[in-house]
A and B are shown apart, each in its own frame.
Chain A
Amino acid sequence: MSADEVLIVRTGTANLASVCAGLRRAGAAPRLTESPNDVAAAERVVLPGVGAFGAAMARLTDKGLDRVLTERIAAGRPTLAVCLGLQLLCDESEETPGVRGLGLVAGRITRFSTAVRVPQLGWNLVAAGDGAPLLHDPGHAYFANSYKLDAAPTGWTAAYADHGGRFVAALERGNVLVCQFHPELSGAWGLELLRRWLGATQPRRTGGAAC
């Protein structure tokens, strides 16, 4: 049997080769797409993202990806958002005032304090999420961000880290995992998290219609 396919949303030039390599190490078969139909139909989708909030939202909207991503995440279908991907799920960002995010995570993205080095580039300790099915294992994760979410809204389970104050390192709800850090660059710890997400989202192979 072939490895399980994972569709990666092509959001402009990101470190997509690293995301693909990380998913392959975790046992998946990654494929890039920018088709809304693919994203709507796929069993598993990864939303990577680097660059600026406003430009990334514009690309998602131009390609009609905003609506299909919103639908699948709202429905709790297997989706992994990485780095800027977390921020795009929120309401808005201080990085690009006036641009609306996907609005799936209630909250506003703000810049890190001037008391610490920005961007945050490096390994930070992620605490275990309280009662989190996927984020139950504390460990060091690799971050590359200048903006962050301070607190998780109701309905999401969160894991936190600290860089000049507490911020959201990752969120999960159902089969949706949302990481401010880069699991694909977070060594053995990140690889285990990717495997847990893939394992928790095995396609239903028997009985009934696909969801």
Chain B
Amino acid sequence: MLTVRIIPCLDVRDGRVVKGVRFSGLRDAGSPPERAAAYGAQGADELVLLDVSATPEGRAHQTETTRRVREQLSIPLTVGGGVRTLDDARALLEAGADKVAVNTAAVRTPDLIDRLATEFGCQCTILALDAARTPAGNWEVVVLSGRERTGRDAIAWAGEATRRGAGEILLTSWDRDGTRAGYDVDLIAAVAGAVRVPVIASGGAAGPEHLLAALRAGADAVLAASIFHDRDMTVGAVKDYLAERGIQVRR
């Protein structure tokens, strides 16, 4: 039986770890390989590296950052941010990624998912889905780091992407990201119930009780950034908390 996964996320801009609220107001949170090594030592089950550079020059650091992080890690590494083509994905895989996450480009050109899955396998093709609540009580897909609402139904998009070959969904609540208000558990339950691939919950974690709620809502893994970067909690302490409440974790 699989354990749940605790996944620290490094948002990287111009080669540095940053963290913001609702994808903006970024502040520095350290060097990617140093943070990666620290989280590996704490017992992280996986690491996600998302490039949030605003410019191509900033993003040019991405493969080098991936390479340096890979050398520090003996756990899986997912890399995303600005992946538009098979060549983008190949460069990241060759630098040390095990999985590649696609977001905006996949919404614009859904066929990108089919091509990635055919070329690299569905276990390597991760859909990063940023969703925002609508006034009607549903969720719509947002792209360009939250700058554009697409009007597209997030649950339907999750289903389509998995039919095209996405092997996992990294599900971020745009409303909650960086707010420390807790994950959007309704969104997690809706997506986890609609697809058969694993779902990673993201956006809003402030404490272990939020991670527990996301897992109970159906997430297979939970991603967090602020609580680990700000040293509120270690990955090990989160696992202790979850294990005491009957959740299977890897020690």
Nearest-neighbour CB distance to chain B for A145, whole angstroms, equals: 7
- In the bound assembly, the distance between CA atoms of A182 and B227 in angstroms comes to 29
B residues in contact with A186, CB < 8 Å: 74-75
How far apart are the CA atoms of A25 and B251 in the complex, in Å? Answer: 21
Whether A188 pairs with B74 at a CB distance below 8 angstroms is yes
- Which residues in window 85-109 of B have CB below 8 A to A? 90, 93-99
Query: Does A119 have its Cβ within 8 Å of any Cβ on chain B?
Result: yes
Q: Which of B5, B76, B95, B119 contacts A144 (CB 8 A)?
A: B76
Beta-carbon contacts under 8 Å, A153-198 to B: 162-163, 182, 184-188, 190-191
**Does A41 count as interface, using CB distance less than 8 angstroms?**
no
Among A63-71, A72-80, A122-130, A202-210, the stretch in contact with B:
A122-130
Whether B51 sits at the interface, judged by CB under 8 Å, is: no
Contact of A51 among B67, B94, B121 (CB under 8 A): B121
When distances are taken between beta carbons in the complex, the residues of chain A under 8 Å from B196 are 114, 117-118
List the B side residues contacting A125 at CB < 8 Å.
1, 3
A89 to B224, CA, bound (A): 39
Q: How many pairs of residues, A versus B, come closer than 8 Å at their CB atoms?
A: 112
Give per-residue flags for B201-242: 1 if the beta carbon is below 8 A from chain A beta carbons, else 0.
000000000000000000011000000000000000000000
Is there an interface contact between A17 and B121, defined as CB atoms closer than 8 Å? Answer: no
Minimum CB–CB distance from A179 to chain B (whole Å) comes to: 15
Closest CB in chain A relative to B74 CB, distance in Å: 5
The answer for the CA separation of A13 and B86 in the assembled complex, in Å, is 11
In the assembled complex, the CB of A28 is this many whole angstroms from the nearest CB of chain B, namely 14
Q: Give B33 Cβ to nearest chain A Cβ, in Å.
A: 12
**Contact partner of B121 among A21, A50, A185, A191, CB < 8 A?**
A50
Among A18, A51, A124, A190, contact of B77 (Cβ-Cβ < 8 Å): A18
Contact with A163, one of B2, B90, B124, B251 (Cβ below 8 angstroms): B2
- B1-31 interface code vs A (CB 8 A; 1 in, 0 out): 1111100000000000000000000000000
Closest to B1 in A: A162
Residues of B within 8 A of A144 (CB): 76, 98-99, 123-124
Identity of the chain B residue whose Cβ is nearest the Cβ of A114 in the assembled complex: B196
A17 to B95, CA, bound (A): 6
- Cα-based distance from A52 to B119 in the complex (angstroms): 9
Interface string of B67-90 (1 = CB under 8 A from A): 100110111110000000000001
Assess the A22–B120 pair: CB atoms within 8 A: no
* Interface residue B58 (Cβ < 8 Å from any Cβ of A): no
Residue B45 at the A interface, CB < 8 A?
A: yes
Q: Which residue in A122, A143, A185 is a CB contact (below 8 Å) of B221? A: A122
Q: Which residues of B contact A122 (CB under 8 A)?
A: 2-5, 45, 198, 220-221
Minimal Cβ-Cβ distance residue in A for B126: A121
A61, B121: Cα distance in complex, Å: 20
Q: Is A120 an interface position by the 8 A CB rule?
A: yes
A117/B198 contact (C-beta < 8 A), A18-B98, A123-B45 known? yes
- Which residue of A22, A123, A142, A182 has the most chain B CB atoms within 10 A of its CB atom? A123
Q: Are B74 and A190 in contact (CB under 8 A)?
A: yes
**In chain B, residues 142-198, which have Cβ atoms closer than 8 Å to a Cβ of chain A?**
167-168, 196-198
Measured CA separation A103–B77 after assembly (Å): 32
**A 8-55 contacts with B by CB, 8 A:** 13-18, 21-22, 25, 50-52
State whether the Cβ of B141 lies closer than 8 Å to any Cβ in chain A: no
Shortest CB distance A185–B (Å): 5
A146 within 8 A of B: yes
Residue on A nearest B74 in the bound complex, by CB: A187
Q: Which of A121, A125, A140, A186 gathers the greatest number of chain B CB atoms within 10 Å?
A: A121
Flag whether B122 is at the interface (Cβ < 8 A): yes
Nearest first, the 9 closest Cβ-Cβ pairs linking A and B are: A17-B96, A144-B123, A122-B2, A140-B250, A51-B121, A15-B98, A119-B123, A123-B250, A50-B121
* 14 more CB-based (< 8 A) A-B contacts, given A52-B118, A184-B74, A187-B75: A13-B90, A13-B119, A17-B94, A17-B96, A18-B96, A50-B120, A50-B124, A117-B196, A118-B197, A124-B1, A125-B3, A146-B122, A163-B1, A190-B74
